Amino acid sequence: MCGIVGVVSNKNVNEKLFNGLSNLEYRGYDSVGMCFINGGKFSIKKGVGKLEEVHKKVNFLKLNGNIGLGHCRWSTHGGVTEKNAHPHVDCKNKISVVHNGIIENYSELKDELTKKGHKFYSQTDTEVIAHLIEENLEGNKVEEALRAALKKVEGSYALGILFADEPGKLFAARNESPLIIGLGKNENFIASDVPSILSYTNKIVYLEDKEIAVLTNDGFDVFDLNGKEKRKKVHTIHWSKESSQKSGYKHFMLKEIYEQPRAIADTLNERIVNNSIIFEKEFALSDDFLKKIKRIVIVACGTSWHAALVGEFMFEELAKIPTEVEYASEFRYRHALLDKNTLVIAISQSGETADTIAALKEAKKYGVKTLSICNVIGSSITRISHDIIYTRAGPEIGVASTKAFTTQLAVLYLLTILLSKIRKTLNEKQIKDMIEGIRKIPLQLQSVLDEDDEILECAELYYNKLNSLYLGRGINFPIALEGALKLKEVSYIHAEGYPAAEMKHGPIALIDKNMPVVVIAPHDIYTYKKVLGNIEEVKARGGIIIAIATVGDKEVKKRAKHVIYIPKNLYTLSSILAIVPLQLLAYHIADKLGRDVDRPRSLAKSVTVE
Ligand code: F6R
């Protein structure tokens, strides 16, 4: 939700700012703007549309300066207009602000400031910040004015601020919206995320809530809102520069789907030692505690919530721990019944989803242990929760989550093995089989990817259908939900995921010869035969059946119009294999329809507002 980048250097920062902004576009693409300081004045260009479109009109690369800010917008307050595009300035055009978040008391502040004579040009909540700083500048240093202003602000913000009269200083502040500092050589950065500046530095400082940073080209200082200096740790991020580039793929989504064998292999790396699971030091929950827990509650949003449903199945089926999955946005506003024997797990790719952060904070009020499963090192969620297991998917840039999802499933699977072993719900042979099963996954995923041509054929046949249904059962019901979500978000085709048998209670009425029905039907001892029955029911109504089946399966083939095969493995691992063809199907359909796959309309990669 909105991307921010800023650079202060001893040379022209124009290209770095432009590149940083183009890497951040997945966060918002309603409008875009840039600001530089030249000779004590701002040069600002902005416009409505994506970076490339606006750049064609205004030529951002004509702007010059050793200090600058860039912003791409995902609108919350105020329509998508040039006036509402960031940066926003004060009355004297001396303070320039870019913002990600929501200022909750902006209306009161705006009224107060208007009464004092401030003139507003936009409908945004952001503009109040520029005027509020201006109001506090009278007789004060800029740092003091900034602190005084932020003390009055309620809500979430990641801010980049320039003062025309302070051309060597880049100011930043955060509260509940992500913002990092990147340390370069004779230049320093602020950004909404690490990948956007990874080509320039991997030395990162994470700002905490209610901290203000002042960056120059040769250093930085961080203060709290009372002006007290804070000591900050510099983290080295071990993501490669290439990982944040498309590397020849048409879209990030496709690249990230193809990266899954590697991402899973990385996620497993050094965590399986002699039939035991060993997570890193960020995971310090004792065996004693893990033996004692009576219940697990998982909070998450979107795709991560679907991963949580797979986790629920595994924890209950194998580790025998009662588990509930909650939408983080719901959990945060209800009084859940939690006690010391409950473990609360938050799952999040970005670690910055506002609702998931709030749900974790809510859980902590009950004094329960919290564990986060997260992809982004040092992100907010990892700093809030007691324990962490990192998925090692590498940066995920495409808005539709793909490799983050399968690595979340891999982590949940490893955690299930650990819990089952400690709680002795599985014997050594079963543990060994589980470990052998997951070890096969990277290679097996490669063989699923090798079926891409057949999946493309299906996409070519059905990309013009207006609706579709996704059916699965057991551990693959969440995969039906996730397959449908992928199609919806990147192609804008209506799709619904259902437990296959539940179809009879309503959705079956929708099935006719125009309805593609994707059925996940791996061979298993649980519901396979029932799913065959469900396929018959769809067929009897003329539905177009695209099935995901286990290699060698003949029964599904007899009934379905198209079959995509996944390799044989344990039932609990069928979900990791089954989602990949569905990701590819969604991708190819969206691409055939000419959608902007990596930047689907109205979506943003991390939802940092509630
Ligand atoms: C869908 C998608 C979203 C995210 C959701 C949670 O493809 O990406 O549904 O899964 O916004 O995001 P994280 O996992 O970053 O908390």
pLDDT one-digit tens code per residue, 98-129: 999 889 999 999 999 999 999 999 999 999 99
pLDDT confidence of residue 236 = 86
CA dist 591 and 491 (Å) reads 8
Nearest atom in ligand 1 to the alpha carbon of residue 400 is 7
pLDDT confidence of residue 77 = 82
Q: How many helices (H) and strands (E) does the chain have?
A: 19, 27
pLDDT confidence of residue 513 = 95
Per residue in 561-573, pLDDT (tens digit) is: 999 999 999 999 9
Nearest atom in ligand 1 to the alpha carbon of residue 300 is 16
Nearest atom in ligand 1 to the alpha carbon of residue 607 is 11
- Based on the residue annotation, tell me whether 35 is a catalytic residue of this protein: no
Catalytic residue among 46, 169, 488, 605: 605
Nearest atom in ligand 1 to the alpha carbon of residue 353 is 16
**Ligand 1: which of 325, 332, 350 to mutate, most ligand atoms within 8 Å of CB?**
350
Average pLDDT over residues 303-319: 98
Average pLDDT over residues 78-99: 94
Tokens of 313: 């199945």
pLDDT confidence of residue 78 = 82
Per residue in 202-229, pLDDT (tens digit) is: 999 999 899 999 999 999 999 999 999 9
- Based on the residue annotation, tell me whether 169 is a catalytic residue of this protein: no
Task: List beta partners, residue 156.
Answer: 102
CA atoms within 13 Å, Cβ hemisphere of 203: 11
**Ligand 1: which of 607, 609, 610 to mutate, most ligand atoms within 8 Å of CB?**
607
Strands of 41-48's sheet in order across: 41-48, 31-38, 67-73, 3-9, 187-191, 180-183, 203-206, 235-236
CA dist 459 and 17 (Å) reads 38
Per the prediction, the chain carries an average pLDDT of 94
pLDDT confidence of residue 570 = 97
* 175 Cα: distance to centroid of ligand 1 (angstroms): 21
Average pLDDT over residues 339-368: 95
Q: Which amino acid is at 133?
A: I
pLDDT confidence of residue 24 = 86
Q: What burial class does residue 367 get, using C-beta atoms within 10 Å of its C-beta: 0-12 exposed, 13-18 middle, 19+ buried?
A: exposed
Which sign does the torsion angle of CA 80, 121, 42, 225 carry?
Answer: negative
**Count of beta carbons in the 10 Å neighbourhood of residue 82:** 13
Q: Is the pLDDT at 605 greater than 80, yes or no?
A: no
Which sign does the torsion angle of CA 376, 378, 380, 385 carry?
Answer: positive
Nearest atom in ligand 1 to the alpha carbon of residue 306 is 10
* 509 Cα: distance to centroid of ligand 1 (angstroms): 31
Confidence of residue 178 (pLDDT cuts 50, 70, 90): confident
Contacts (Cβ under 8 Å, ≥6 apart) of 234: 183, 203, 204, 205
Tokens of 31: 């409008």
Considering only CA atoms, which residue is closest to atom 10 of ligand 1? 303
Q: What share of the chain is helix, strand, coil (3-state, %, to 5)?
A: 40, 25, 35
**Residues lining ligand 1, judged by CB closer than 6 Å?**
301-304, 348-350, 353, 356, 400-401, 485, 489, 606-607
Tokens of 342: 């409950």
- Provide the pairing of β-strand 203-206 with 219-224: unpaired
CA dist 194 and 197 (Å) reads 6
Nearest atom in ligand 1 to the alpha carbon of residue 301 is 6
Contacts (Cβ under 8 Å, ≥6 apart) of 337: none
Q: Is the pLDDT at 488 greater than 90, yes or no?
A: yes
Considering only CA atoms, which residue is closest to atom 5 of ligand 1? 302
Nearest atom in ligand 1 to the alpha carbon of residue 302 is 9
* 292 Cα: distance to centroid of ligand 1 (angstroms): 31
**Ligand 1: which of 74, 253, 304, 610 to mutate, most ligand atoms within 8 Å of CB?**
304
Ranking 153-162, 331-340, 433-442 by mean pLDDT, the lowest is 331-340
Nearest atom in ligand 1 to the alpha carbon of residue 606 is 15
Q: Is the pLDDT at 379 greater than 90, yes or no?
A: no
* 304 Cα: distance to centroid of ligand 1 (angstroms): 6
Per residue in 50-65, pLDDT (tens digit) is: 999 999 999 988 888 9
Strands of 229-230's sheet in order across: 88-89, 95-103, 155-163, 170-175, 211-216, 219-224, 229-230
pLDDT confidence of residue 603 = 84
Average pLDDT over residues 437-466: 95
Average pLDDT over residues 143-169: 96
* 59 Cα: distance to centroid of ligand 1 (angstroms): 33
Considering only CA atoms, which residue is closest to atom 9 of ligand 1? 302
Confidence of residue 29 (pLDDT cuts 50, 70, 90): confident
CA dist 578 and 573 (Å) reads 9
Confidence of residue 76 (pLDDT cuts 50, 70, 90): confident
CA 279 to chain centre: 23
Average pLDDT over residues 157-174: 96
pLDDT confidence of residue 179 = 93
Considering only CA atoms, which residue is closest to atom 3 of ligand 1? 302
Catalytic residue among 2, 35, 301, 458: 2
- Percentage with pLDDT > 70 across the chain: 100
CA dist 51 and 29 (Å) reads 7
* 400 Cα: distance to centroid of ligand 1 (angstroms): 8
* 303 Cα: distance to centroid of ligand 1 (angstroms): 5
Backbone angles phi, psi at 154, to 5 degrees: -115, 140
Contacts (Cβ under 8 Å, ≥6 apart) of 10: 66, 186, 187, 217
Q: What is the DSSP string of 369-413?
A: EEEEEESSTT-HHHHHSSEEEE-------SSS--HHHHHHHHHHH
- Percentage with pLDDT > 90 across the chain: 84
Tell me if 523 sits within 8 A of 574, measured CB to CB. no
Per residue in 392-429, pLDDT (tens digit) is: 999 999 999 999 999 999 999 999 999 999 999 999 99
Q: Is the pLDDT at 553 greater than 90, yes or no?
A: yes
Q: What is the DSSP string of 464-500?
A: T-SEEEEEE-GGGHHHHHHHHHHHHHHH--EEEEEEG
Longest dimension (CA), the chain: 82
pLDDT confidence of residue 46 = 95
Q: Tell me the angle at which helices 127-137 and 142-152 cross, rounded to the nearest 10 degrees.
A: 130
* 31 Cα: distance to centroid of ligand 1 (angstroms): 22
**Count of beta carbons in the 10 Å neighbourhood of residue 56:** 12
Selection from 164, 166, 105 nearest residue 132 by Cα: 105
* 394 Cα: distance to centroid of ligand 1 (angstroms): 15
Give the chain's domains with CATH numbers: 2-237 (3.60.20.10), 248-448 (3.40.50.10490), 451-601 (3.40.50.10490)
pLDDT confidence of residue 176 = 84
Selection from 420, 344, 424 nearest residue 387 by Cα: 344
* 347 Cα: distance to centroid of ligand 1 (angstroms): 10
**Ligand 1: which of 253, 601, 606, 609 to mutate, most ligand atoms within 8 Å of CB?**
606
Backbone angles phi, psi at 52, to 5 degrees: -60, -45
CA dist 301 and 304 (Å) reads 6
Give the global pTM: 0.81
**Ligand 1: which of 310, 327, 349 to mutate, most ligand atoms within 8 Å of CB?**
349
Q: Tell me the angle at which helices 260-268 and 428-449 cross, rounded to the nearest 10 degrees.
A: 160
pLDDT confidence of residue 191 = 96
